[in-house]
A and B are shown apart, each in its own frame.
Chain A
Amino acid sequence: MATYQEFIAQNEERDGVRFTWNVWPSTRLEATRLVVPLGCQFTPLKERYDLPPLNYDPVLCTNKTCRSILNPFCTVDYRAKIWICNFCLQRNNFPPQYAGITEQLQPAELSPQYTTIEYTLMRTPAQPAVFLFVVDTCMDEDDMTALKESLQMALSLLPTDALVGLITFGRMVHIHELNCEGMTRSYVFRGTKDYTAKQVQEMLGLMKQQSNQRPMPGNPNVPPQQAPNFFSKFIQPLSQCDMSLTDLLGELQRDPWPVSQGKRALRSTGAALSIAIGLLETLYPNTGARIMLFIAGPCTQGPGIIIDEEFKHTIRSHHDIEKDNAKYMKKAIKFYEGLANRSAVNGHVIDLYSSALDQTGLHEMKYCSNYTGGHMVMGDSFNTSLFKQTFQKVFAKDNKNEYRMNFGATIEVKTSRELKVCGAIGSCVSLAQRGSNVSETELGMGGTNAWKICGIYPNSTLSIFLEVLNQQQGAAQGVPGGQRGYVQFITQYQHLSGFKKIRVTTVARNLIDATTNMPTIAASFDQECASVAMARIAVYRSDTEEGSDVLRWLDKMLIRLCQKFAIYEKDNPGSFQLTDTFTLYPQFMYHLRRSQFLQVFNNSPDETAFYRHYLLVEDLTQCLVMIQPILYAYSFNGPPEPVLLDSSSILPDRILLMDTFYHILIYHGETIAQWVKAHYQDLPEYENFKQLLQAPVGDATEILQSRFPMPRYIVTEFGGSQARFLLYKVNPSQTHANLGWGQTAGAPILTDDVNLQTFMEHLKKLAVSTTT
């Protein structure tokens, strides 16, 4: 329905929130009967350029167990200067600075258009951020040169007050001293041992730092504090060591230890990462920091070993994992997960930049980025534009010339008494904050109403799941128009300008009696949000459950949803019909089941970890693209139009643009390819053909400019080997099996996969059957 779609779009635009259901049932039982859990996709730092700058602290509810923030849904008595908290119904006095407010002169935080608003805390300027480069030196010369150049250029892109450090590793781990005059010095650790933070502290002679006070920005007349700003020789302000670090990077050599035939280089990734974390734990606990790990192969010695040095022992595949044939995997996962947790506790982000033709162990190391909000970049070589451009984008700035990266975000959820919090799924860790609105039922990271995202960006999105509580009889009465449930998201984070900010988003939805109002609830279903929520739950479950169990669960949920909400006669599949709000959902589920998130065949464990990482990070629109790629057709028959992701859309006289998030593919149909070969685009009288060829390239460029990480970019044609990326994704409505005589449309796909038509037939049969 147009009105609901508009409502959903408006709310997403304003608050960065989309709920799976926009009208909520008033009992717990009815909520569970909805099949798709009640929850939301929440983007805490959604780009908003129109928010008024509020340079003061937010007003909190005085109820100690509530502490929610003043918002437009509060009832306000302007004469008595009192506000009533909509979460706990406590009456609060306004602080003295609000004495002048009236109904005509509302503060911004009470204005209905600012259900999302941001406060900047002026009292406590934050520490500058730390960037610690941890660089593998076991790679070939070209890669090494390219990586060194990228790192040198990155120094120009860092914030001017940033602190930097450099660790390199191969067989040994070198912690480099910065700003050494006349020579280069480093402390060398054996790569075969693990080191605790204390050992690192002792061996490097580090002093535990007290927080250094920066001069207050905005107060240029106040001189910076004269307290000795002691910086360790390993982590120094960029402004002081830029030139020497540039030289140091320029002089880096490949790991000098010889590598024998048939063996891998000895790479001490685990030890290096452990030392890096120990170093930052000691010097900069609870400060925004980024550990940027660059690896060109798997860890082959020491803690966190992924595979040993013999080439004849291959890195585990999914098949090996299934057969329990992965010798080092469990121990490695435990090791890296431990490092990830240590890092997350301190607010330190771990980025993984992996560039190798074979796997490097992202499957074991994935918790390092997943728990800390770090990036995971997977490429073939550091000497490719995919890596170079992706790495550049890490330091990207937005329209207001501010960095898109931010640090140390904590997200807390407040709910009105009708709701409790079941958990969250995303690139975060639990803060284990047991508030009164924490549910006993857990879904995702539960047992808490607050989570921490150490590295947060404008597109970082959490899935937060809620539970409806049974309303007491008296509570629902006497409230005209029914009850409203409220949810408030409070995000505190460290902005790179040096200040802490608090963003507050408050949303409300109606609660109604489901037994009499099911159509209203059904009409409020957001099928796109539900698809992404189910996808994230499925991926979360895949960590601990067998793949086939997850698929079975997904199918069961789909059948139950159809049974509940479709219109049909029992045992009559032909009568099955879905209302508008549900029509796309089975399609999404079909594509999700056959996507790389749940079908691990044909992918390595590292690739699966890479794909799943971004599903847990990105916002709703991008997640949908990952689940069901976008396909647009360009032809002489009209303007570019979206087409079915189906083999019948592959026609000879069309150019197709497919965006899977990880790949951008431009496909020339057979006729188009022939015309290109005949060079029609070079003839002046066929200028329009040239423009047609250019149109998808222009759109693809737009996508490439705003996407992180840079996707693979494939230009292919009918019969081309790279066309397999397209053929693999489309619904195979025509296969070699069902292509009848005389049918020439579309490109038949050589597969035994079930197609969407067959899937829907089965779904209808199972949904209408009385025995399911």
Chain B
Amino acid sequence: MTSTNKSTNLDGWNDPPANLTLSDNISTKRVLLNKRVPFTNQDLSATNNPANVLVVPPPSTTASVAAATATTDNTTSTTTELLTIEAMNEIFQTQIEKLEKSSNIEKKILEDISKKFQVMQDEWQQNKLSSNTKQTLSNIFQELGSNNVQEAFDLHVLLVRNSSSEVVRFIVGIKRLIQELQRLPK
């Protein structure tokens, strides 16, 4: 019996949310919800007075409307600008040409890399990627454009670590591009 939901964010039965940013800060030092209330002999039935049950939620007063939950993005980004997808495409084409010129790489691999890049492009344009992911991808291509292949590789590892559910459909292609570039003789 397979799940009928075939979207990319496939949720199995009682699956945890797919897009948790797994921070590197996985430490046991967090505010632990670990308090317990000791059992007493009190009659527990009298805790709810029907007269106090509200019919509608209490409206928020101006004072109590707190600031919107600050989503502190785990910013892996530096102050570098976000490239546009077209600029990234240009850098990608340059790199592919570099690989095509060198004779050892099979055409099939290059096609596969291009296909995966296309998937990434589509997801970018359909706004399926978070801003963090976009920034990291942009940084990867900037590094590739400046010939810093190792930095690009390290950045791709960050993507796999932190946003695996977003990048799963194309990251293998980007990784292969970087690795083939690493293999090129200087």
Secondary structure at the B interface, as helix, strand, loop or mixed, is loop
Complex CA distance for A745 and B46, rounded to whole angstroms: 7
Q: Which of B106-148 contact A (CB under 8 A)?
A: none
CB of B34 within 8 A of chain A? Answer: yes
Known A386-B16, A706-B28, A710-B16; contact A698-B69, beta-carbon cutoff 8 A = yes
CB of A628 within 8 A of chain B? Answer: yes
The 8 A CB mask of A150-191 against B (1 = contact, 0 = none) is 001100110000000000000000000000000000000000
Complex interface: chain A residues within 8 A of B24 (CB): 397-399, 401
CB of A379 within 8 A of chain B? Answer: yes
Complex CA distance for A226 and B171, rounded to whole angstroms: 36
Please determine whether A704 and B156 come into contact, CB atoms closer than 8 angstroms. Answer: no
Q: Which of A682-729 contact B (CB under 8 A)?
A: 685-689, 691-692, 694, 698-699, 701-706, 710-714, 722
Complex interface: chain B residues within 8 A of A686 (CB): 57, 59-60
Complex interface: chain A residues within 8 A of B37 (CB): 642-644
Complex CA distance for A88 and B172, rounded to whole angstroms: 59
Complex interface: chain A residues within 8 A of B15 (CB): 384-386, 712-713
A437 CB → nearest B CB, Å: 31
Which of A625, A644, A663, A685 is B60 in contact with, Cβ under 8 Å?
Answer: A685
Complex CA distance for A723 and B2, rounded to whole angstroms: 23
Please determine whether B2 and A711 come into contact, CB atoms closer than 8 angstroms. Answer: no
**A711 (CB) vs chain B CBs: closest residue:** B16
CB of B83 within 8 A of chain A? Answer: no
Please determine whether A746 and B20 come into contact, CB atoms closer than 8 angstroms. Answer: no
**B29 (CB) vs chain A CBs: closest residue:** A47
Please determine whether B20 and A706 come into contact, CB atoms closer than 8 angstroms. Answer: no
CB of B75 within 8 A of chain A? Answer: no
Which of B14, B29, B179 is A722 in contact with, Cβ under 8 Å?
Answer: B14
Please determine whether B57 and A691 come into contact, CB atoms closer than 8 angstroms. Answer: no
Complex interface: chain A residues within 8 A of B14 (CB): 663, 712-714, 722
Known A392-B22, A646-B44; contact A142-B58, beta-carbon cutoff 8 A = no
B130 CB → nearest A CB, Å: 15
Please determine whether B28 and A458 come into contact, CB atoms closer than 8 angstroms. Answer: yes
**A459 (CB) vs chain B CBs: closest residue:** B28
The 8 A CB mask of B37-73 against A (1 = contact, 0 = none) is 1110100111110100110111110001110010000
Binding site for B on A (CB under 8 A): 47, 140, 142, 146, 149, 152-153, 156-157, 242-243, 246, 250, 357, 379-381, 383-386, 388-389, 392-393, 395-399, 401, 404, 458-459, 583-584, 586-587, 619, 621, 624-625, 628, 630, 632, 636, 642-646, 648, 651-653, 657, 659, 663-664, 671, 675, 680, 685-689, 691-692, 694, 698-699, 701-706, 710-714, 722, 731, 733-734, 743-746, 756-757, 760
Complex interface: chain A residues within 8 A of B26 (CB): 393, 396-398, 404, 705-706
Known A140-B2, A242-B179, A713-B16; contact A389-B161, beta-carbon cutoff 8 A = no
Which of A153, A401, A671 is B53 in contact with, Cβ under 8 Å?
Answer: A671
**B38 (CB) vs chain A CBs: closest residue:** A583
Q: Which of B69-83 contact A (CB under 8 A)?
A: 69
Complex interface: chain B residues within 8 A of A689 (CB): 57, 60
Which of A680, A692, A745 is B45 in contact with, Cβ under 8 Å?
Answer: A745
Please determine whether B11 and A385 come into contact, CB atoms closer than 8 angstroms. Answer: yes
The 8 A CB mask of B4-25 against A (1 = contact, 0 = none) is 0000011111111110101111
Complex interface: chain A residues within 8 A of B9 (CB): 385
CB of B157 within 8 A of chain A? Answer: yes
A41 CB → nearest B CB, Å: 14
Nearest 3 Cβ contacts at the A-B interface: A384-B12, A688-B60, A648-B44
Known: A47-B27, A386-B12, A745-B44. 5 other contacts (CB 8 A): A357-B1, A399-B27, A644-B39, A687-B60, A746-B47
A25 CB → nearest B CB, Å: 27
